[in-house]
Amino acid sequence: MPDGKNILVGITGGIAAYKICELIRMYKSSGANVKVVCTPNALNFVSILTLQTLSQNKVAFEQFEIGDFKPEHISYADEADVFVIAPATASTISKIANGIADNLLTSIAAAFNKPFVIAPAMNTNMWNNPFVQENLQKLAAQGYTIVPPESGFLACGTTGEGRLAALDKIFDTTVDILCGTKKFLSGKKIIVTAGGTVEDIDPVRFISNYSSGKTGCALADTAFRRGAETVLITTKNVQKPYKVVKVKSALEMQTALSEEFDDADYIFMSAAVADFRIKEFNPQKTKKTDSDTLTLELVKNPDILQYLCNKKTSSRPVIVGFCAETENLIENAKNKILKKGCDFIVANDVSRKDIGFSTDENEVYIINRNLDVKKVEKQSKLKIAEEIIKEVYEKSGNLCTHK
């Protein structure tokens, strides 16, 4: 992760500018220092106050200000380790490719001689314009990293190529440039489960939990960035550059895991799986009655973690369980790893309001089957995912596993 790195984010005047607020948050969560520079038109789509609040830095736009006897565009160029322009409009791309410096952003670009990432976003016809494509080719030939747009429904009402690339892709590209990400998981298959399962009561009601799936997605993103063949089995609607299997209930998740299990090297069971489901699903909406109470009969769901740990194969994957506790965290986690037979357990205290469910930060304990405990201090879930995968990868070879 880019701890302490300086990322300069350039925002130009396209409708996708609003998406960059989330990209800034992702960079900040990873430990980077972020500064933002905008073209004047960008501020028609996103406010200075929002960008300053998210980046925790002053936002630069049209004015030139002199600080420490150095022009502002030179100062920003010198400070940054990478310059990311997203969204990049056809106009800004063409200006940079031809050395035009008519605003603060393009002036910084003209002075910038370090890694440069450009993520275009525009109307399909503009994207396919031969002059725009020629300018992109010129930039790529000079070493600029282009994160191409995706196809889909565009703000102009048409469907086609031109939509800003997924933020995960822009983020991962930036991290790879800054950190030279080591692909130590190359050749490995990693399965990650994420989100809270949903157990239907009737067509409009269900039993579930507060799991957001953020930790699971962070684990899968990290595994993919580290070179693994990655499969994310999740209850959430997400788009990723790797295989995603969408499930709903505990039984569906068990089926999906069984289908991916045989050639897996690691399984991270971070999903919050419901312990019980409705015994008999009501195909019609359950009506209110005169009674003040309603009794639902529940039956146990299969213990998926136990099921996987008990599977008899010649080369069982390393299995990592997760437990969310409200009391006796370490004791309960140790009991669980002994009972289930998994290789690692990751435990966190969900009674705390500042970590856990639906937050962007967590604090966990990683316990292996020898009952060694490693505490990972409170930090972003992106960093937590890095720590978990690193610990499991480095320590699994020293454990008495089935591999």
Query: Among all residues, which ones are annotated catalytic?
Result: 156
List the one residue out of 13, 65, 8 whose CA is nearest residue 37.
Answer: 8
* Residue 83: strand, helix, or coil: strand
Report residue 92 CA to chain centroid gap.
Answer: 28
CA distance 359 to 345: 20
Angle 402-388-227 from CA coordinates, rounded to 5°: 80
φ, ψ dihedrals at 14, nearest 5°: -130, 160
Backbone dihedral angles phi then psi of residue 99, each to the nearest 5 degrees: 70, 20
Q: Could you tell me the CA-to-CA distances from 280 to 57, 287, 298, 376 in Å, in that order?
A: 55, 15, 8, 42
Encoded tokens for 237:
């609607």
Q: Give 290: exposed, middle or buried? Use CB within 10 Å, 0-12, 13-18, 19+.
A: exposed
What whole-number distance in Å separates Cα of residue 213 and Cα of residue 88?
30
What one-letter code names the amino acid at 104? L
